[in-house]
Amino acid sequence: MKQDDCIFCKIAGGEIPSHTLYEDGKFKVILDVAPATRGHALIIPKRHYANLYELPEDMAADVIRLAKKMMEKMTDKLNCDGFNLIQNNGEIAGQTVFHFHMHLIPRYHNDGEILKYTTISPSQEELEETVVQITK
């Protein structure tokens, strides 16, 4: 399924060019045009799913398998020192392209702090309430 106004559908279909690292029947892995670090790439399914909520479970398993494979290859070839996998769902979570994708971000000792969030300080009671809310 393809969504006409979706940039990643167009990239997946080859209508818009991309710097492709890997391609198979289900996925394309491309370099991000605005990379956080050298080699920052995106795993994009060829079919349109807006986010992880919509992605079928078997595809989700395929994504993590491919992420591991790409991460190992990129670490070897780029000689990076670590790796972040990031996957944003919803505008509030930082998603800007509403076609599922997973970021593959090689990390280098000198690349600076590219990901930072402040922490909150919940009490023991609040932590327990959260457990109850999620699990009951």
Active site residues: 101
- As measured in angstroms, the least distance from the Cβ of 27 to Zn ion is 13
Report residue 86 as tokens.
């990031």
Residues binding ligand AMP (CB under 6 A): 7, 18, 30, 32-34, 42, 88, 94-97
Q: Is 88 in the site for Zn ion (CB under 5 A)?
A: no
Beta-ladder partners of 86: 103
Work out what residue 75 binds among ligand AMP, Zn ion, none; the CB cut-off runs from 5 to 8 Å by kind.
none
**Taking CB under 5 A as the rule, which mask of x and - marks residues 96-115 in contact with Zn ion?**
---x----------------
From the list 108, 107, 115, the residue with the least C-alpha distance to 87 is 115
Beta-ladder partners of 83: 106
Identify the H or E element spanning 104.
strand 102-107
